[in-house]
Amino acid sequence: MEIPSNIINNNNNHDTLEIIFENTLLINLLNKYFNKNGLIYYKFKHVYARQTRFVGEFIETITNDGLETKNSTKSTTDYIVKNRTAANEQYILSNHDFNDRYEWVEDVRGIQDSAGFEWSLYKPKSTSQIKAIKVNKKILIYLINQHQQEQQQQKKRNCLLHFINNIKLKNKLKKYKFYLIAQWGEKMVFKENDFLVVPINLTPNIYRIANKEFFETYKKQKNK
C-alpha cells in the first residue's frame, strides 16, 4: 500500500486531526532526538512464537490501549510472535528478522492459540537491542510544525492548517492522532508517552512500542 510521505485526514471530525508519516521520513525528522536523548534498551522478556499456518494469515496487534496496527503474513516462513504481556499482543516477523532477534528455548505443551496450534518459547538474543525515545508534547508539536512547513512548501495550505498554526497558543485541537507507516505498509499509531524505537545493527526502521508494554518487556542497557 503506497501512501504519501505526510498527509492529513480530517475524517469529518473537526476535533480530530490525523497526521501520517512515512517510515524513513520519520526517522530523519527525529534523528536529532535519537542522537541527543535516545537510550539503549534490551528485551528481557521471552516470547511465544510459531510459524504462520498460511500466506495471508491476518494479525491485529492490540495493546492495552487498543489497536496498534495490522498485518498479514507474506510467506509460509513468517513467524507470529506473541509477547508475554498483560495484553498478549501479537505481531508478524519475517523469518530473517525473527531469527536475528530470537532463539529457541523449548516447545510449550498446553499453550495453544484459538485454532489449536501450539506455541514455542523463544528468548531474545543478546544482540537484539533498540534505541528508544519517549514521545512527549515537544516532539508532537515539532512533528506538527514539520508537517506544516512541508505543506507550505508544496503550497497546499487549507483550513486545517489554521488550527495547526495556533495549536501551541490556542489549543484548538482537542484530539489529534499520529501514525507512522510500518515496514509492511500499514498505519501504526503512536501517542504521547509511547516509545518510538529503532533497532540497532538491523535494517533501519522505526516503530512504536506502547508505554505499558514497553516496560513489561524492555530494560535499559547499563553502561559497561
Asked if 136 and 118 sit in the same domain, the reply is: no
The confidence score (pLDDT) of residue 8 equals 47
Residue 100, burial from CB neighbour count under 10 angstroms (0-12, 13-18, 19+): middle
User: Is there a domain that residue 86 lies in?
Assistant: yes
Backbone φ and ψ for 213, nearest 5 degrees, come out as -70, -30
Asked if 70 and 117 sit in the same domain, the reply is: yes
Asked if 117 and 145 sit in the same domain, the reply is: no
Asked if 184 and 138 sit in the same domain, the reply is: yes
**Contact call for residues 35 and 119 (beta carbons, < 8 A):** no
> What is the residue-averaged pLDDT of the chain?
86
Asked if 116 and 192 sit in the same domain, the reply is: no
Cα 197 from Cα 41, distance rounded (Å):
9
- Expressed as residue numbers, the domain containing 164 is 6-40+131-220
Asked if 74 and 115 sit in the same domain, the reply is: yes
Per DSSP, 38 falls in state -
Asked if 36 and 135 sit in the same domain, the reply is: yes
Asked if 92 and 168 sit in the same domain, the reply is: no
Cα 211 from Cα 86, distance rounded (Å):
13
Asked if 35 and 85 sit in the same domain, the reply is: no
User: Is there a domain that residue 119 lies in?
Assistant: yes
pLDDT top residue among 81 and 3: 81
What is the tens place of the pLDDT at every residue in 93-127?
999 999 999 999 998 876 666 667 789 999 999 88
The confidence score (pLDDT) of residue 13 equals 57
**Total tally of structural domains belonging to the chain:** 2
Asked if 103 and 153 sit in the same domain, the reply is: no
> Which contiguous run of DSSP H or E holds residue 165?
helix 159-165
User: Is there a domain that residue 1 lies in?
Assistant: no
Asked if 192 and 85 sit in the same domain, the reply is: no
Asked if 138 and 216 sit in the same domain, the reply is: yes
What is the tens place of the pLDDT at every residue in 49-62?
999 999 999 999 99
